[in-house]
Amino acid sequence: MGKGEQTRQAILDEAFSLASCIGVGGLSIGVLADRTHMSKSGLFAHFGSKEELQLAVLRESQQRFAEVVVRPALRLPRGLGRLRAIVANWLDWTKTCNLPGGCVINAAAAEFDDQPGPLRDEVRNALLALNRSLAATVAKAVETGELSADTDIEQFVFELNGIYQATQQRRRLFDDPEADRRALAAFERLVRDNAVIHAKE
């Protein structure tokens, strides 16, 4: 890796954890230059525009998410177990990565949902991809017979998303130590309601 790539990555590392606290929109070249002990113009040259820097942060976030949340779970056999692993990894991926201030993309989703442009598009695509990935995982749990054949997969993913966001809010805003327990309880209820019926009433 050449010198250029190296510093670019160092900048992204810093930008990533900074964006976690103040949001992707709150990033500023000047502050980032201070934190990385660089000049504004030197840092700027690596991205060409602020927007490109923000996009790079969003892409960085996607990549880390895939590495930390999804990939480890792919080593497990397909089915409910893998889904459980993804959910577990997902719920504490902000601890695993250097994310002092919560998921960057999730925050960006609320920030840019009304501001058309490349940033919104990037966030949207990232979350669409996540939803597809989750849907595929749920679908496999249906195939293995662990979840009912008439499971509404889109609905399942919808509710999973809600559980995640509620958890984030409880943790970050209310400092609720019960957040994780509640999240798992909600998830188990979701699984239970979509499990194969052993005894029909």
45 is an interface residue for DNA by CB under 7 A: yes
Nearest to 58 by CA among 16, 97, 112: 16
Structure token digits, residue 200: 């029909």
Binding residue for DNA, selected from 9, 21, 22, 49, defined by CB under 7 A: 49
127 is an interface residue for a second copy by CB under 8 A: yes
Q: For residues 163 and 159, what is the distance between their CA atoms, to the nearest angstrom?
A: 6
Phi-psi region of 117 (alpha: psi -120 to 50; beta: other; left: phi over 0): left
Q: For residues 25 and 93, what is the distance between their CA atoms, to the nearest angstrom?
A: 22
Binding residue for DNA, selected from 38, 134, 160, 179, defined by CB under 7 A: 38
Point out which span in 2-10, 30-38, 136-144, 163-171 binds a second copy (CB under 8 A): 163-171
Nearest to 132 by CA among 110, 108, 155, 154: 154
Site for a second copy in 7-26 (CB under 8 A): 20-23, 25-26
Nearest to 69 by CA among 85, 55, 54: 85
Nearest distance in Å: CB 166, a second copy: 3
Point out which span in 4-12, 55-63, 112-120, 133-141 binds a second copy (CB under 8 A): 112-120
Nearest to 33 by CA among 14, 51, 20: 14
Binding residue for a second copy, selected from 4, 30, 42, 100, defined by CB under 8 A: 100
Residue 42 contact among a second copy, DNA, none, beta carbon within 5 to 8 Å by kind: DNA
13 is an interface residue for DNA by CB under 7 A: no
Q: With respect to a second copy, which residue has the nearer C-beta, 64 or 182?
A: 182
Q: For residues 137 and 117, what is the distance between their CA atoms, to the nearest angstrom?
A: 30
Q: With respect to DNA, which residue has the nearer C-beta, 15 or 70?
A: 15
41 is an interface residue for DNA by CB under 7 A: yes
Structure token digits, residue 60: 């960085």
Binding residue for DNA, selected from 50, 71, 132, 181, defined by CB under 7 A: 50
Which residues on adjacent β-strands are paired with residue 147?
195
Which residues are at the interface with DNA (CB under 7 A)? 2-5, 7-8, 27-31, 37-46, 48-51
